[in-house]
A and B are shown apart, each in its own frame.
Chain A
């Protein structure tokens, strides 16, 4: 359990030296209990106290980091159940699984590894590969995992998850030695051997169990062997069971500080065996607390949808993605080009900018400061009104750039045109389409 401020205070030196930046040891203890400062700020705390406090100071969900060749995927360190309470921090790593015996492995890895897609100015890629030793634990399949890892490494620099058993995994681990991969999976029958491998190769270890009780017992036994970096495979026969387990694990970690399950969760949507259902399982895993998601199906349209969902769910709710207010030039506008008004919510901005850019028609884009909200939301919240639009037109000195004093409003805020005519008396106010996708046709026909 997490220690209270008073419990922590008892372990501090009681000197009130202020070197930690707080007036008293008690004040510092309160900040420690709230996880707002690090214990290292106290220069005089005893080794004995440090040890006792370490457990309470550790994050409730352990941070797991997979590394390879300078690339890294992190999961864990989450502190809330719902994104609006603060934010979700470490986006679940999206991995693609390939089988060692697959003759097509090079092509599959190359396609997924090269994949990159742009979303509102950000480039997204998948995070890594899971390489599975299929077949039995014979020498040949052990060698084949090693060979498969070499093949993957000749194409991709991304972090790896190696799937196999204590007999097959060493060849794979040797083939990527020096990296920080993850190995799958320790269960009741093999945990000692898997823990030894994890320790020897400094790999994170997935632990698999049929119940949370079984998982908790396993993680404690493995931890006693000196392995700290673990990830949980919750199993689950259907979406409902998986959701319940994932929620329980997160709650136990956050609300009860239950260390034995304070690890990120890995999901295998591909296990369902049907690409349509796999996509739905993956969406649930992204929304509901997975730290790693392993897909069996790689398809650009699915990867794009899942990467966007992940970005959306993990966006900091306090800070919508914004662009800087101002006048943006699209397709080299001239004094005769139209001026379109929109808000500075990045999704809104990029939707509009992409449409206009794609149409090939030049335009000035007036991006108003709507505090990062979309047109309708900003309008409802009073952040996108006639006054603000008029202010932007004047502040950015639009009149100096164009010959005809005319601006185009988004169709959703057609109601503002009357007020805007009062605010900008010598300007023509036009109402454009409601959706960005209809802008090219509107510009061609109506402007």
Chain B
């Protein structure tokens, strides 16, 4: 019995965005990463092939974090005290990009040094996050952007309260921005409009619609991403950007991953649970359209990359 498979024909598509620049392109990266370009909902290869494989970044910090789960501390070991070492280990663990998160304790010089040491330790494209306080973000990200002109680093995290300075320095120094909004389609669109209005080309923006971890509101992030992608395919230009999410950050602050003692017995083995929490959060978001997934644990990286590879197989 022949079956006519219903296929969606979409007028719109997602923009392609490239992070990192090789020597030929004015940077020093060994390779670049390109995401986006989809013309279908996630991985429906029978409608149209997914043009670029979604990628996984590993999050490292400029200083050894005090509040990370002991499971992560055990995994990364001494490398956590040296961003260059940590970045190398992250590359070995299969990262496609490195996220370097700066901290409130960093001075501008510390930040620039940390970024430079990571750039020389690995050839992967780089994403740099400020510590998350608008003023301090500006204090650190501007000198970092200037010191790495042409590298096509992604600067984050750009929110409505601090986007101006970060976007301006990204424009001046040839970088990209990570545009984050709190789980809302219209807020995401609005921030993209504000950023492009300043003159940054849309192909230098990746949207971060924010997510919750498994059990902590993932369903909101999941549906916002599906709605953003549907809007993009329907032709809404200000949603036609690749999406990045931070399930590593979200999942590892959940009690399920962070804490091993004094929790219900039904939660099972702590180490296995922590990885499930991060992996399952990430996989669900991959299914809802994430192009760039930021993780923390090497085992989760392996599992999520395997899942993406399987989703990319064309029969």
Interface residues of A (CB under 8 A from B): 82-84, 115-119, 212-213, 216-217, 220, 237-241, 243-244, 247-248, 251-252, 255-256, 258, 260-261, 276-277, 279-280, 283-284, 287-288, 299-306, 308-309, 312-313, 315, 317, 345, 347, 351, 354-355, 358, 374, 376-377, 380-381, 435-437
Tell me, yes or no, whether B1 is within 8 Å of chain A by CB. Answer: yes
**Known interface pairs A115-B266, A301-B273, A315-B219. Does A238 touch B1 (Cβ–Cβ under 8 Å)?**
no
Q: Are A260 and B287 in contact (CB under 8 A)?
A: no
Contacts of B227 in A (CB 8 A): 82, 84
Q: Are B214 and A256 in contact (CB under 8 A)?
A: no
Which applies to chain B's interface (DSSP): helix, strand, loop or mixed?
helix
**Known interface pairs A84-B223, A216-B1, A347-B215. Does A358 touch B253 (Cβ–Cβ under 8 Å)?**
no
Tell me, yes or no, whether B89 is within 8 Å of chain A by CB. Answer: no
Contacts of A279 in B (CB 8 A): 276, 279-280, 303
- Give the interface centre of B217, B266, B284 by most chain A CB atoms within 10 Å: B266
Tell me, yes or no, whether B311 is within 8 Å of chain A by CB. Answer: yes
B80-103 with Cβ < 8 A to chain A: none
Please tell me which one of the listed residues B258, B264, B284 contacts residue A313 in the complex, with CB atoms under 8 A apart: B284
Q: Are B268 and A300 in contact (CB under 8 A)?
A: yes
Contact with A along B294-309 (1 / 0, CB 8 A): 0000010001101100
Sorting the interface of chain B by its residue count into under 10, 10 to 19, 20 to 34 or 35 or more gives 35 or more
CA distance A126 to B43 in the complex (A): 30
Which applies to chain A's interface (DSSP): helix, strand, loop or mixed?
helix
23 pairs from A and B in contact (CB 8 Å cutoff): A82-B230, A83-B219, A84-B223, A216-B3, A220-B1, A239-B310, A240-B310, A251-B5, A251-B6, A280-B303, A280-B304, A280-B306, A299-B268, A301-B269, A304-B268, A308-B215, A312-B217, A312-B219, A313-B284, A355-B255, A377-B184, A380-B187, A435-B253
**Known interface pairs A115-B266, A301-B273, A351-B216. Does A244 touch B3 (Cβ–Cβ under 8 Å)?**
no
B235-265 with Cβ < 8 A to chain A: 253, 255-256, 258-259, 262, 264-265
Contact with A along B10-33 (1 / 0, CB 8 A): 000000000000000000000000
Q: Are A437 and B1 in contact (CB under 8 A)?
A: no
CA distance A224 to B103 in the complex (A): 68
Interface residues of B (CB under 8 A from A): 1-6, 43-46, 182-184, 187, 212, 214-220, 222-223, 226-227, 230, 253, 255-256, 258-259, 262, 264-270, 272-273, 276-277, 279-280, 283-284, 287-288, 299, 303-304, 306-307, 310-315
**Known interface pairs A118-B264, A380-B184. Does A305 touch B277 (Cβ–Cβ under 8 Å)?**
yes
Write the nearest CB–CB distance from B185 to chain A, whole angstroms. 10
Write the nearest CB–CB distance from A248 to chain B, whole angstroms. 5
Nearest-neighbor residue (CB-CB) of A242 within chain B: B310
CA distance A116 to B284 in the complex (A): 23
Write the nearest CB–CB distance from B212 to chain A, whole angstroms. 7
Contacts of B1 in A (CB 8 A): 213, 216-217, 220, 260
Please tell me which one of the listed residues B266, B268, B312 contacts residue A118 in the complex, with CB atoms under 8 A apart: B266
CA distance A117 to B215 in the complex (A): 13
Q: Are A248 and B269 in contact (CB under 8 A)?
A: no
Beyond A240-B315, A313-B284, 8 additional contacts (C-beta under 8 Å) are A82-B230, A240-B313, A276-B299, A279-B279, A287-B287, A304-B267, A347-B216, A437-B253
Please tell me which one of the listed residues B265, B277, B306 contacts residue A277 in the complex, with CB atoms under 8 A apart: B306
Contacts of B43 in A (CB 8 A): 240, 243-244
CA distance A306 to B6 in the complex (A): 30
CA distance A364 to B310 in the complex (A): 50
CA distance A344 to B21 in the complex (A): 47
Nearest-neighbor residue (CB-CB) of B287 within chain A: A287
Q: Are B3 and A212 in contact (CB under 8 A)?
A: yes
Nearest-neighbor residue (CB-CB) of B220 within chain A: A377
Nearest-neighbor residue (CB-CB) of B263 within chain A: A358
Write the nearest CB–CB distance from B270 to chain A, whole angstroms. 8
Write the nearest CB–CB distance from B309 to chain A, whole angstroms. 9
Contacts of B314 in A (CB 8 A): 240
CA distance A13 to B233 in the complex (A): 45
Q: Are B226 and A84 in contact (CB under 8 A)?
A: yes
CA distance A289 to B50 in the complex (A): 21
CA distance A358 to B311 in the complex (A): 41
Contacts of A239 in B (CB 8 A): 307, 310-311
Write the nearest CB–CB distance from B250 to chain A, whole angstroms. 11
